[in-house]
Amino acid sequence: MKDKEKSTPNEPPASDDKISIDKSVFKVNKELRRKREEEQAKKEQEIAEKYAQQDKEKREAYEKQLQNERIELMRLKQGIVEESETIHEEKEEEVKLSFGKKIANFFYHSKWWLGLCVFFLGLGGFLVYDLLSKPNPDMVILMLCDNNPVGTSTFLEEYFTEFAEDSNGNGKVLVNVYYVPYGDDEYQNYINGVTTKITTFLNNADAVMVIGNKKTTDDLLPPEDSFVDLSSLYPDDPHVDGYFYYIKDTKFAEHIGVRPSDITDDMFFALRKPKDVMNDTKEKMQETYDKDFPVFDKIVKSLSSEEE
């Protein structure tokens, strides 16, 4: 019993020795891990420094090469040396291609130009087709004044076609009225492309009959220089005054399906004098005049013979 009591006090020191050993192992593992991390960091730093040094050496060598080539190039330009040992012209080795590959290579490198060519060829073909398929009018009339009810009337061209003949021999009778709404509003003139249209129409000989008003003669066509004197052709016609055949008090509005009030007091028919223009000759306009005058004459006599 006494022996047991003696052995009991010796047990706690054994437990303390175990705790001490565990703590020592943990500390050793921690120190080993820290040492490995330090060694790894040192290795990584050495590798980074090595690559940095190599990169620096390459950059310095490249810069030195460039500097040497600049110096050598200057010596060549100045004639100090005739041939350089450092600057050599590098010739690309010619790659031999088969015929099929040459064709494919050509299309690949020229695809944009070929695309543009195809586009413009297509556009040109469309324009030619449109020109050839477009009806060729027997007579062209210019309406150079701002009067939308008259200019857009469905029956305007139909009325004039009644007096025309098949002058071009295509088996059809067609009269085109080119309506250009030339008015006081300069912005609307610009939006409608009026200036361009007037310049185009007045500089060719396709039309001699004109529908206009006072603004037409004030701004575009001075009567003495531009029109034929109708008073000498129709001396007894009450609608004729000098160069103009006034249509206010005729049945023209009824024929084209507009209100009489749509015909203003200053609206007239007139004939352009044959003369040289920018795109055509006087002889060409004279041909148009000789062709269109009989139609104009029929229209004037028909309107003047009708009861008001």
pLDDT in tens, the chain (308 residues): 444 444 444 455 445 555 455 556 666 667 777 887 888 778 778 877 877 788 788 888 878 877 777 777 777 666 665 555 555 555 555 556 566 666 666 666 666 666 777 777 776 665 554 444 456 899 999 999 999 999 999 999 999 999 999 988 888 999 999 999 999 998 888 888 888 999 999 999 999 999 999 999 999 999 999 999 999 999 999 999 999 999 999 999 999 999 999 999 999 999 999 999 999 999 999 999 999 999 999 999 999 998 65
Residue 240 has a pLDDT of 97
What is the model's pTM? 0.58
Residue 145 has a pLDDT of 95
Which CA distances in Å does 246 have to 39, 144, 219, 230, 238? 112, 15, 19, 11, 9
Q: Please answer whether residues 143 and 178 qualify as being in contact, where contact means their C-beta atoms are separated by less than 8 angstroms.
A: yes
Long-range pairs of 24-27 with CB within 8 A, sequence gap ≥ 24: none
Residue 267 has a pLDDT of 97
Residue 86 has a pLDDT of 56
Residue 67 has a pLDDT of 78
Residue 258 has a pLDDT of 97
Rounded CA separation 240/228 (Å): 12
Q: Please answer whether residues 195 and 159 qualify as being in contact, where contact means their C-beta atoms are separated by less than 8 angstroms.
A: no
Residue 84 has a pLDDT of 55
Residue 3 has a pLDDT of 46
- Give the three-state DSSP class for 307: coil
Residue 236 has a pLDDT of 94
Unique residue bearing structure tokens 């330009």: 77
Question: What are the DSSP E strand ranges found in the chain?
Answer: 139-143, 175-179, 207-212, 240-241, 244-246, 268-271
Residue 251 has a pLDDT of 96
